[in-house]
Amino acid sequence: MPLELSLDRTSPIPLSEQIRSQLRLLIVAGQLKPGESLPTIKELARRLEVNPNTVSEVYSSLEAQGYLSGHKRGGTRVSQNPPALEPQEVLALQLSARLAREARHFGLSPAQMTRWITAQAALQGHPKIKLAALGNTASQAQRWAERVQVWLGEEARVDPVALGESLDGYLFVAVEPQMLQSARSFIPAVARPKRLRSLPAWARAYYEGPQGAD
């Protein structure tokens, strides 16, 4: 079968990984048969307009994983017995196939889906926003942090910070309304009131915190 691969050069996913994942998918899905020949390194690099070293690295890694076998005279072929998929990989394959069908149905391009899935994966890997709950004292900060944590739920990690302590590393600060004026000079530049209007609504909510502080 003609080998058809699609590369998204705007994606944060390296080209080598895009080529590797697509070849592996074609093999495990049975679209590339055991023993079937692949294009030479130079030929595939020319078709995809990539550096031959990129294709060489992909072929070598897939050969090391058991998906391809290299022969000096016969070129590179699909292994006779490629590795079986792990159960979670089977599930991922099924989910990705369904997502691809739905994306095509709604007119979304592979590039668009790649960007959104990459962004979602990154968010799932780091699901919590680090946020400071600023109080006049340590005990007041603790009470305020507990209240803000309930307000935000599991989407954020709220740390109690007493007024005067370092706020380095915090992009957002939840300040009790009663101490908002006195806290302005301690808030990181990204959240200072003079820039508040340029922040989106959800950022302003993080900055101000729930109303009606004790």
Q: CA 87 from chain center: how many Å?
A: 22
Here the tokens at position 118 are: 């990459």
Tell which phi-psi region holds residue 123, choosing left (phi > 0), alpha (psi between -120 and 50) or beta. alpha
Query: What is the Cα–Cα distance from 196 to 202, expressed in whole angstroms?
Result: 11
Contact 128, 156 (CB under 8 A): yes
pTM above 0.85, yes or no: no
The DSSP code for 6 is -
Low-confidence ranges of the chain (pLDDT < 50): 127, 186-214
Could you give the angle at the alpha carbon of 159 between the alpha carbons of 153 and 164, nearest 5°?
A: 145
pLDDT of the residue at 214: 39
Query: What is the Cα–Cα distance from 145 to 128, expressed in whole angstroms?
Result: 15
Q: Name the residue among 159, 157, 120 with its Cα closest to residue 142.
A: 159
pLDDT of the residue at 155: 66
